[in-house]
A = this chain, B = another copy of it.
Amino acid sequence: MFGNVTTAADYEQMLRGADLRVTRPRVAVLGAVHGLPHADTDAIIGAVRAEEGDVSHQAVYDVLRALTAVGLVRRIQPSGSVARYEARVGDNHHHVVCRTCGAIADVDCAVGEVPCLTAADDHGFVIDEAEVIYWGSCPDCSTARP
Contact = CB atoms under 8 A, between A and B. Distances in A.
A115 interface: yes
Interface string A99-142: 00000011111110001111111111111111111111111001
Most buried by B among A77, A120, A125: A125
Interface range for A: 35 or more
Given A79-B77, A111-B111, A128 B119 contact: no
Given A111-B111, A117-B134, A125-B134, 12 more contacts: A77-B79, A96-B127, A105-B123, A105-B125, A110-B120, A111-B116, A116-B116, A125-B142, A129-B134, A129-B136, A130-B135, A131-B135
